[in-house]
Amino acid sequence: MSTPTPALVTQRAAQRLPRVPLLLLCAAYVLPGVFGRDPWRNADLSAFSIMLGMAEGRLSWLAPAPVGGMADSALLPHWLGALAIQALGGWLGPALAARLPFALLLAATLALVWYATYYLARTEAAQPVAFAFGGEAEPRDYARALADGALLALIACLGLLQLGHETTPELAQLSEVALLLFALAVATTRPLLGRLLAPLALVALASSGAPAIATLMGLVALVTSARSRFEGVRALLPWLAMGAAASAALALLLHTWHWRIVRPDSLSDLWALVRLPGWFLWPAWPLALWTLWRWRRHLQSRHIAVPLGCALVALLAMAAMDGNDRVLLLALPGVAVLAAFALPTLDRGASAAIDWFSVFFFTGAAIVGWVVYASMHWGVPAKPLANIQRLAPGFVPQFSWLALLAAVLGTLAWLWLVRWRTARHRDPLWKSLVLPASGVALAWLLSMTLWLPALDYARSLRPLVQQITEIVPAGQCLLAPGLPRTQVAALEVFGRYRVDTRPDGPCDAMVLQGRRPGVAPAIDGWRLVATLRRPTDRQEQTWILRRER
């Protein structure tokens, strides 16, 4: 006799979220940040410089070794960006062209999580309790409502907000984990599709710079599938084994198998390991934990075991790598699916608490965003503009009618949604996640419209490179010994410099960096010609030297 589920769901509660508002929400989340900005410093800029170098023929497509760095193991994502630059770069510009396939990967991740949840919710063990006199939710409607909830939970997660909008290999890895989750979910009803996609997802994950995680996820999927009573799922076993073995072999062939395990050195490091998932996976992780408690008698059922296995691999890898947030990103699909299965078991009090927190927090954030925008363009109130000018000297606000229109429409949609949610529609399963997801989308939309010029000025390295080009003309040879990889990438991308990181290279100009306060190092045969500073960084200074003749 099967164990009854904790889900009590009426047909009225199994309403699906209307498709047009759902698609508009996804567009408001995916599209802002794609247009009108530079690649931002650190990982975003470094990855883009590799793609640009491959597209221009300066770097190998099989072992891209950027100046000042080792050969990168994430081949597949860089191929996508480089091909997009070659195809569309002359029309759209290299940065936007490279960003487009990654925006599609984010959209694919949202879709794959929706469909994975849908198929997992259709399994017998996930169905709600049948009522004595009928009226329980139909399986198809119940699955759609839970899938809507999983999609909203994924959008609401704070950790996806920035990392999900970068042009980095981790976004490709995220989509491949979502593809694996979908392949495992669909194996019960479409076994042929599952057998095709599961090994494909593992090999793609390995070729995107995560061979160890691909192998571990393949092994966990093997264990989960071996315990299944579905013949179609057990038929996945040789395909999963082949995918895991191919992932390991590909990593060995391309010399990309690198262990990056870091042991915590103190209690503060251990606390950081707890604190990072606390905000990164918010608000999905409390719901996921509630799912594990309420469905504790069903932990071996596929709708719990499959997403839990994928999430645990990423969480353990994050802990082994001393709190790497880019690895933690891979836990989001599994955590979002688990969060969805908490929705049929939430009481009205918990749902109301989530709603009111979201209303006050995101409405307050939107008000702050509009106040700062008004200060930047009209000087009222004066204090925010003074703070911006102090933190980002040299910044000049830029007005855009298109950005203003998008921000106005997004804000009006939020106000309408708050009224809609608090006035009625208390029955749908997904109701508790509408406001958190929409609030995150609103915050991102306002940041990428009202605040985009200021954020781009602060996070781009173009202002510093522009200062350097006034001293050393763009396109020339430039020595940069000891310069961080992201700074080298900025010189290549924004200044088109031919950078040489050797201290004894043939270039006539050299750039060095140090922390303030500091004195430029004295080097025989070189003289200091300028001391520069990135406008929004008070701790770092850059020295330009010329070779003495």
177 domain-assigned: no
Domain end call among 398, 426, 459:
459
Domain span holding position 84: 32-168+259-345
First to last CA, the chain: 90
CA angle 84, 87, 88 (to 5 degrees): 80
Looking at the structure, tell me whether residues 272 and 144 fall in a common domain: yes
264 domain-assigned: yes
The pLDDT of residue 141 is: 92
Domain end call among 459, 482, 505:
459
Looking at the structure, tell me whether residues 53 and 104 fall in a common domain: yes
10 domain-assigned: no
Would you write out the chain's pLDDT as a tens digit for each of its 549 residues? 466 788 888 888 888 888 999 999 999 999 999 999 999 988 999 999 999 999 999 998 888 888 766 667 789 999 999 999 999 999 999 999 999 999 999 999 999 999 999 999 999 888 888 776 667 789 899 999 999 999 999 999 999 998 999 999 999 999 999 999 999 999 988 989 999 999 999 999 999 988 889 999 999 999 988 888 778 788 889 999 999 998 888 777 766 666 566 666 656 667 777 889 999 999 999 999 999 999 999 888 999 999 999 999 999 999 888 778 899 999 999 999 999 999 999 887 788 888 888 999 999 999 999 999 999 999 889 899 899 888 888 888 989 999 999 999 999 999 999 888 777 656 788 888 999 999 999 999 999 999 999 999 999 999 999 999 999 999 899 999 888 889 999 999 999 999 998 888 889 999 998 876 667 778 888 899 998 988 888 788 899 999 987
530 domain-assigned: yes
CA 163, CA 165: separation in Å to the nearest integer? 5
The pLDDT of residue 71 is: 61
The pLDDT of residue 226 is: 86
Looking at the structure, tell me whether residues 429 and 475 fall in a common domain: no
Tokens of 267: 């209690």
Looking at the structure, tell me whether residues 326 and 357 fall in a common domain: no
175 domain-assigned: no
125 domain-assigned: yes
The pLDDT of residue 267 is: 61
198 domain-assigned: no
Domain end call among 288, 318, 345:
345
Of residues 105, 102, 109, the one with CA closest to residue 39: 102
Looking at the structure, tell me whether residues 383 and 421 fall in a common domain: yes
27-31's contacts with Cβ under 8 Å and 24+ in sequence apart are: 28/410, 28/413, 28/441, 28/442, 28/444, 28/445, 29/110, 29/155, 29/440, 29/441, 29/444, 29/445, 30/103, 30/106, 30/107, 30/110, 31/103
536 domain-assigned: yes
Count up the domains in the chain and report the number. Answer: 3
Tokens of 235: 């038929």
Looking at the structure, tell me whether residues 78 and 125 fall in a common domain: yes
Looking at the structure, tell me whether residues 388 and 532 fall in a common domain: no
**Most distant CA pair in the chain, distance:** 96
Looking at the structure, tell me whether residues 360 and 474 fall in a common domain: no
Looking at the structure, tell me whether residues 109 and 158 fall in a common domain: yes
Looking at the structure, tell me whether residues 327 and 401 fall in a common domain: no
Q: Which residues contact 337 (CB under 8 A, 6 or more apart)?
A: 113, 116, 117, 120, 150, 181, 303, 306, 307
Looking at the structure, tell me whether residues 49 and 162 fall in a common domain: yes
Looking at the structure, tell me whether residues 323 and 376 fall in a common domain: no
Q: 321 by DSSP, 3-state: which?
A: strand
